Amino acid sequence: MFVDILILFIGLVLLLYSADVMINSSDLIAKKFQLSPILIGLTIVAFGTSAPELVITLFAAFREIPATDAIIGNIIGSNIANILLILGTASLFFRIDLSSIGLKDNIFLLILTSYFAAMFYFASSLSLKIIIGLVVFVILFLNLLKNYKSDSEEQEFKKFGNRTYLVLLFSFIGIFIGGKIFLDSSLNIFTTFGLEETIIGISILAIGTSLPELATVVISYIRKKGSIGVGNIIGSNIMNILFVFLPGAIIVKSRNLDFPLENIEIVHINILLLATLVITVMSLLKLKLNIIFAFGFLASYAIYIGYLLS
C-alpha cells in the first residue's frame, strides 16, 4: 500500500509540474503572436490546465474495459471543483471579477453544461446523436473565439525562443506519463477501499487535476492579469466537456463498446448545473467574488464531498 501511495504521489507531482511548464510555454507562445489575455485564458491556458483531465480520459478510454464512470466522474468533478473549490479558494485572497469575461462566454458554458446534463436526464447510454450534438458545440465554440481581437499592446519576449517549443513538447510527454501513473495508482488504491469509479473520479481525480487551475488563477491575479485566470476557469470547464469528454466518448464508441450514463447519480449533475448557473447569474449582475462568497463556495464544496464519502 505504501508503494502504491508513493507511486500515486510521484505521478501527481509529474502531472502537475508538466502541466505548469506547459502553461508557461503556451502563454509565451500565445503572447508572441499577440493574442488577447482573455483569449489566452479561454484557449491556450485552459487547454493546458485541462491536459491532465484529457490524459486521464484517454488512458481510461483505451483500457481493455473502458473506465467510463471514471471518465464521467472526472469531468463532472473537475468542473464542480473549478467553480466551488478553485474560485472559492482564490476568492479568499482576491476579489474575482466574473464580468471580466464576456457574458456570451458564460452563457455558452451554461448552455453547454445544460446539454451535458440533459444527457443524464434523458438517456441511459451515449448515442451517436448526442456525440453529433457535442460536435456542433465545438463548431459554435470555435466560431465564438473568432470574435476576439488580437492584443495590440507591445510586449517583451525575453524568455521566448525556439527552446520554448521543445519545452512544450517535453511537457506533453511528462503529462502523459504522469497521467498514466496517476490514473492507474488512483484506481488501484481507492478501489481497495470499496469506492466506486464514479466517486474516485469526482473526488480524488477531480481535485488532483484541478490544482493547475488554482495555480493559474492565483498567479494571474498576483501578476495583475485576472482576466486570464477567470477565463481559464470558464475555458477549462468548456474544454473538459468538448475536448476531454468528447474525445473519450468517441474513442469508446469507435471501439463498438457501450458508454453507459445511467450509473451516475443525478445529484452530481444537479450540483454541476447549479454551480454553473450561479456564476452565470453573478456575471450577468456584474458581482465580484469576495470572502463572503468564498466561504459559501467552499462550504458548499465541503458538504458535497462529505456527501460523496458518507
Check whether 28 has a pLDDT greater than 80: no
The pLDDT tens digits of the residues spanning 53-97 come to 888 899 999 998 888 998 998 899 999 999 999 999 889 988 888
**Spatial CB neighbours of 161, under 8 Å, sequence gap ≥ 6:** none
- 153 within some domain: no
What is the H or E stretch that residue 303 is in?
Answer: helix 291-309
More confident residue, 34 or 169: 169
Mean pLDDT to the nearest integer, 133-145: 94
Lowest mean pLDDT among 16-30, 41-55, 98-112: 16-30
Whether pLDDT at 154 is above 70: no
In a domain, 93, yes or no: yes
Encode pLDDT of 269-290 as tens digits.
999 999 999 999 998 888 888 8
Q: Which residue has the cell 498576483?
A: 222
Nearest-angstrom CA–CA distance, 196 and 70: 9
- Give the pLDDT mean for 134-144: 94
Most confident of 73-82, 194-203, 224-233: 73-82
**Which CATH number do you get for residue 22?**
1.20.1420.30
pLDDT band of 149, cuts 50, 70, 90: low
Would you call 229 helix, strand, or coil by DSSP? helix
Q: Which domain holds residue 144?
A: 2-148+159-309
Task: Answer positive or negative: Cα dihedral of 77, 82, 85, 86.
Answer: positive
pTM over 0.85: no
Phi, psi of 97 (to 5 degrees): -95, 100
> Does residue 154 lie within any of the structural domains?
no
Task: Determine the distance from the C-alpha atom of residue 283 to the mean position of all C-alpha atoms in its chain, rounded to a whole number.
Answer: 19
Task: Inform me whether the pLDDT recorded for 150 exceeds 70.
Answer: no
Q: Is the pLDDT of residue 143 over 70?
A: yes
Give the number of domains in the chain. Answer: 1
CB atoms under 10 Å from CB of 126, counted, come to 21
> Taking residues 26-38, what's their average pLDDT?
74
pLDDT at 196: 75
Q: Is residue 253 part of a domain?
A: yes
